[in-house]
């Protein structure tokens, strides 16, 4: 294989979304996604953007699943440190959440508890509000002073909502939800969720819907003092850091015409110049508008389009690249990070 074809193999590539049925979802995703409009269609609650079963839509791996590519080429995709930390699996799952009805009141385990029950990792997540109507809100945590006994009683008599910490949500807000946090999503907003690549949910209360509850495990998973909160953005010269915590970093990146990938490393939140010292996988999400990712050297790979609400994966070993704003591009970059002791 020559150098040009090797570069093309690990060039940035687009990922097709996967539409996931949820009982609390909606059959009409307009104007966000072209899923269809028939009222008798399956209700979609989540659009998975980087799920293991999502299909690569462009480049050398088109038609393969993202999970296959990450498993077979983990070092090239994630970098050596990332491949070792994640045991050659995908570190993050990105979703867009459409809640037409209330989701269950639930909690996710941390890594330690998930591994106790045979799962590779727990689930810490965050929600970035792409849109929010008047009065939109979520729940993130329990009110101060609430006890485990009160949680159990609220589950039994259907009053658990009264024990939740309510967080109003406006477009552009980011809510961080650490593992162990009792939480809920309610109608009124469209959320971009960044989470550890885990689908473990322990339901405490589900508004009478005929789904399994996991009360015992949920009570074991609950943490009363977590870092869950609405996080104020940090404005830097060329970007806005929405969250920078263990497992992931989410940023709004100013493109302003054309911008090189190398320039996106920029500064950390303390203002230190980190240049290109953080090689690793990055996901580029177009919250609005569209863009095009092209090689800095025109021979390296074919340009790839980034449509509105689409995702392009940029492997750790990608050749030098740049992104062009094709009109109204609101670019979100999501990168995994590796806390001490992560596996």
Closest CA to 316 of 81, 82, 90, 77: 77
Residue 298's Cβ-count burial label (10 Å; 0-12, 13-18, 19+) is exposed
User: What span, in angstroms and rounded, lies between the C-alpha atoms of 179 and 176?
Assistant: 10
Q: Which residues are catalytic?
A: 203
Task: Identify whether the C-beta of residue 230 lies closer than 8 Å to the C-beta of residue 243.
Answer: no
Q: Strand (E) positions, 201-314?
A: 202-205, 229-230, 234-235, 239-245, 248-253, 258-260, 282-295, 304-306, 311-314
How long a stretch of residues is the chain? 343
User: What span, in angstroms and rounded, lies between the C-alpha atoms of 187 and 207?
Assistant: 14
Task: Identify whether the C-beta of residue 185 lies closer than 8 Å to the C-beta of residue 137.
Answer: no
Tokens matching residue 309 = 């609400």
Under 8 Å CB-to-CB from 336, ≥6 apart: which residues? 78, 82, 86, 91, 92, 247, 248, 280, 281
User: What span, in angstroms and rounded, lies between the C-alpha atoms of 242 and 94?
Assistant: 15
Strands, sheet with 164-168, edge to edge from the N-terminal-most edge strand: 164-168, 137-142, 183-185, 105-107, 202-205
């Amino acid at each position: 294989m020559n150098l040009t074809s090797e570069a093309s193999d690990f060039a940035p590539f687009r990922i097709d979304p996967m539409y996931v049925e949820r009982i609390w979802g909606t059959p009409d995703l307009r104007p966000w996604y072209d899923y269809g409009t028939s009222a008798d269609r399956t209700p979609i609650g989540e659009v998975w953007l980087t799920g293991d079963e999502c299909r690569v839509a462009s480049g050398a791996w088109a038609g393969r699943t993202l999970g296959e590519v990450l498993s077979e080429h983990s070092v090239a995709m994630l970098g050596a440190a990332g491949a070792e930390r994640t045991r050659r699996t995908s570190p993050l799952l990105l979703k867009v959440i459409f809640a037409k009805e209330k989701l269950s009141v639930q909690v996710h385990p941390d890594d330690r508890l998930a591994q106790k029950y045979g799962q590779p990792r727990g689930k810490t997540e965050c929600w970035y509000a792409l849109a929010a109507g008047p009065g939109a809100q979520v729940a993130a945590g329990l009110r101060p002073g609430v006890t485990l006994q009160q949680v159990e009683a609220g589950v039994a008599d259907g009053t658990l909502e009264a024990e939740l910490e309510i967080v109003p949500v406006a477009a552009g807000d980011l809510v961080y939800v650490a593992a162990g946090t009792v939480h809920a999503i309610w109608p009124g907003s469209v959320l971009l969720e960044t989470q550890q690549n885990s689908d473990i949910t322990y339901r405490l209360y589900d508004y009478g819907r005929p789904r399994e509850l996991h009360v015992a495990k949920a009570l074991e998973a609950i943490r009363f003092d977590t870092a869950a909160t609405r996080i104020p953005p940090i404005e830097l010269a060329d970007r806005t850091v929405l969250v920078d915590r263990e497992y992931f970093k989410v940023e709004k990146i100013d493109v302003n015409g054309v911008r090189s990938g190398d320039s996106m490393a920029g500064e950390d939140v303390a203002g230190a110049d980190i240049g290109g010292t953080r090689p690793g996988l990055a996901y580029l999400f177009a919250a609005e508008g569209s863009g095009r990712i092209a090689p800095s050297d025109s021979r390296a790979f074919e340009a790839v389009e980034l449509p509105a609400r689409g995702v392009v994966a940029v492997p750790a070993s990608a050749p030098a690249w740049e992104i062009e704003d094709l009109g109204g591009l609101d670019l979100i970059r999501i990168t995994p990070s590796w806390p001490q002791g992560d596996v």
